Structure 1
Amino acid sequence: MIDAFVSGWQRSFDYEGRSNRPDFWWFYLADSILILILLVLGLFNELLFKLYILYVIAQIFPSLSLTVRRLRDSGKPWPWIFISLVPFIGGIWLIVLLAQPSLPV
């Protein structure tokens, strides 16, 4: 999990290539845990709440690039990321696309 998280941050601005399913989901699990911890601690400390806000903004870059690479790995072009903008079903549809198996290289 830690390797996937570190790799996600190291490749924050890399929109080329592919990312496999385990790397994608391990990154999102670690990211969600860190966000939850910062939020809970931020409720009791103003400085940690500011750190939470800063982290949430900063994690947009690795999350976006990782999602683009994951879509490419599952055989979809990057514009499919906009399917999440469709009300009600779009977010679910994107999760289904992200959960698809990788295509052979």
Structure 2
Amino acid sequence: MHWYVDVLKKYAVFNGRARRAEYWMFTLISLIISLALFGIDMVLGISPVLEALYSVAVLLPGIAVSVRRLHDTDRQGWWLLLALIPLIGLIILIVMLAKDSTPPNQYGPNPKEVAAAPAW
């Protein structure tokens, strides 16, 4: 759950890097919350108001963590626009987002190495 909260704390931070766990856990928890809110909307018999409000609220953090994840694989955030290409663009983007971290690059040190370093 801390991955989700950490992404929300960095609401509109587009610089730096994000580990795979941070990106995918945020995506998973966000999807679960969205589905739960959609279910509540259906039970209440209203159009998906709660789910839509939640989606708008997490849109910017979702884009920001995606850009940071692309930075972690040594790619610019503009690669996120691949999602606009039907089907094949989304598949390519998912593969890019699933790749492992690269060594220190222009976007900063490898977050895995920073997390693994002992805190003296």
TM norm. shorter chain > 0.5: yes
Residue of structure 2 equivalent to 1:55: 54
Per-residue CA shift, 1:7-29, capped at 9, x if unaligned? 11111110011000011101111
C-alpha displacement of 1:48: 8.9
SS of residue matched to 1:44: helix
Residue of structure 1 equivalent to 2:12: 13
Residue of structure 2 equivalent to 1:3: 2
- Normalised by the length of structure 2, the TM-score is 0.81
Q: Aligned-pair RMSD on alpha carbons?
A: 1.5
Check the 8 A contact 1:38/1:52 in 2, yes or no. yes
Per-residue CA shift, 1:67-103, capped at 9, x if unaligned? 0000000111111111111222000000000001001
Task: Give me the identity figure in percent.
Answer: 32
Aligned length: 104
Residue of structure 1 equivalent to 2:109: none
Check the 8 A contact 2:38/2:50 in 1, yes or no. no
C-alpha displacement of 1:46: 5.3
Q: List runs of 5+ in structure 2 lacking aligned partners.
A: 105-120
Give the residue type in structure 1 aligned to 2:61: P
For 2:53 and 2:45, the matched residues in 1 are separated by: 12
Residue of structure 1 equivalent to 2:25: 26
Bigger-Rg structure (1/2): 2
Q: List runs of 5+ in structure 1 lacking aligned partners.
A: none
C-alpha displacement of 1:59: 1.1
- Normalised by the length of structure 1, the TM-score is 0.92
Residue of structure 2 equivalent to 1:104: 103
